[in-house]
Structure 1
């Protein structure tokens, strides 16, 4: 071996020995092996064949009760008061079997109402004067004037029903319609009127035509009698007779009336005696009728203005008497 090569080998061995004995020399650790992840690929296990299921029938629900929708809660409907039924301060409102009206507060403390059935006396030809069809009768209570023959009454009669009982009523309707259309303030003869009295219409004073809510009529002061007797406070009355616009009903009133010119009792013999009074009776009636033309409405008891207002307020609905 060559001396130079030999020398280099010795030096290398020396250095290696030193390296093994140096305490501070770093010890190089061998890094741990990298963990390995085993990935196993598993083939999917095929599912066993399944049975094809038909769709299940729906389970029927138990029958249920059919519920009707609940009605809405009841509400009180207030109809507006019609203008015709707005009574003045001097009048009070009244309703009788569907007939609406106002009546004088000062001359009455109320009224009674009756549905009076048809009256047809047995036998008799021509028909009895007091026969009548079904009718509505309104009586004012607390009325200030009493009368021997007439009550303070308003009556509603069906025209067709009246004509069925008494053929004369048909002529009366024609005459009344003609009078109402004419507006005559000085008619000749009697003014047609119902009910029919077994007496003569002795006078016609203070004639005035009035319209009521669904018709028209005429009012007048009169007295019926069977003999020549004075006009008296126990017999004279305010009369009203009218027809509804459809011709279906009569509206009639007999309201006792009083005046200073009338005697209190018509059966008391006049100062000149019955014979003399009878001789100028027609002149006497003409004078009374003429004198009445100058009298204001408040010269009578009750005041004619209040009675007129009552009659003008009437509304008679269709079919009010079946």
Structure 2
């Protein structure tokens, strides 16, 4: 979602746009699905009344046009309540996606493949060291054609078959001030067997957040708030993460 900025994560960053390709080309499965015999379950907790797990077809990557890294492998998409399911997955929307990691990487070549590998490596490093090592941007997929303005409320969380990091974040394409709703919670994780990449994003708002707030003040303001001062409560979103099962 892009107002003067793209609002998207409490978690883990690449460059991929909120503008989908003009034409979305679905790939015909040439081999058995990587999702065959795989089951995804998740509890909506208090974040939603219901969830629906959908299997989405692969989308061919088009390196000649925007956005950067625009392909997606066949994947699971979790719809919260009756939210619209987009043709193209946008980080920052209320959604949960699970990608088969090997198939995801095979979509890209050259600079895009290098960026994909770097993102996955950075996430694995943050998970292993339990610190970000001063990274300016925390890793996140799918990619966004914008920069990560800040990240705060960073947590290391386990789900049933893996681990990852959660955080609150915002993305932008310019220096415009930040308003309530321009940021979101995101979780970026990988299953312990390294087969699946988990990405969750939930838009959040903060009690008392000032209008047209500069980015540095926005981060300081949000960092000082307890989880309960966000809507939804960040602790409640954590519970959704911890309920995720991919087996």
TM-score range, shorter chain: 0.7 to 0.9
Q: How far has the Cα of 1:312 moved from its partner?
A: 1.0
Unaligned runs of at least 5 residues, structure 2: 1-37, 84-89
Q: How far has the Cα of 1:262 moved from its partner?
A: 3.6
Match of 1:157 in 2: 99
What TM-score do the two structures reach when normalised by structure 1?
0.56
Query: 2 CA distance for matches of 1:263 and 1:114?
Result: 38
Deviates most, 176-185 or 156-165: 176-185
Q: How far has the Cα of 1:149 moved from its partner?
A: 7.7
Match of 1:216 in 2: 163
Residue number among 153, 174, 184 corresponding to 2:131 in the alignment: 184
Query: 1 CA distance for matches of 2:143 and 2:75?
Result: 14
Q: How far has the Cα of 1:126 moved from its partner?
A: 9.4
Match of 2:25 in 1: none
Unaligned runs of at least 5 residues, structure 1: 1-96, 265-269, 271-276, 278-283, 318-322
Match of 1:138 in 2: 78
Give the aligned CA root-mean-square deviation in angstroms. Answer: 2.5
Aligned length: 199
Query: 2 CA distance for matches of 1:296 and 1:124?
Result: 44
Note if contact 2:55-2:76 (Cα within 8 Å) is conserved in structure 1.
Answer: yes
Query: 2 CA distance for matches of 1:197 and 1:261?
Result: 28
CA separation of 1:193 and 1:122: change in aligned 2, threshold 3 A: closer
Q: Secondary structure of the residue that 2:245 maps to in structure 1?
A: coil
Structure of higher CA gyration radius: 1
Note if contact 1:222-1:236 (Cα within 8 Å) is conserved in structure 2.
Answer: yes
What TM-score do the two structures reach when normalised by structure 2?
0.72
Q: 1:214-247: per-residue Cα shift (whole Å, max 9, x none)?
A: 1111011111111112233333110110111011
More strand by share: 2
What is the correspondence of 1:106-145 to structure 2 with a 5 Å cutoff?
A: 106-122=46-62, 124=64, 128-141=68-81
Match of 1:59 in 2: none
Query: 2 CA distance for matches of 1:291 and 1:127?
Result: 32
Residue number among 216, 219, 231 corresponding to 1:286 in the alignment: 216
Note if contact 1:103-1:310 (Cα within 8 Å) is conserved in structure 2.
Answer: yes
Query: 2 CA distance for matches of 1:300 and 1:180?
Result: 25
Match of 2:147 in 1: 200
Note if contact 1:185-1:207 (Cα within 8 Å) is conserved in structure 2.
Answer: no
Note if contact 2:68-2:143 (Cα within 8 Å) is conserved in structure 1.
Answer: no
Query: 1 CA distance for matches of 2:71 and 2:218?
Result: 32
Moved over 4 A (4+): none
Of the two structures, which has the highest relative contact order with CA contacts closer than 8 Å and spacing of 6 or more? 2
Q: How far has the Cα of 1:139 moved from its partner?
A: 1.7
Q: 1:147-174: per-residue Cα shift (whole Å, max 9, x none)?
A: x984210100111111111213222111
CA separation of 1:195 and 1:263: change in aligned 2, threshold 3 A: farther
Match of 2:185 in 1: 238
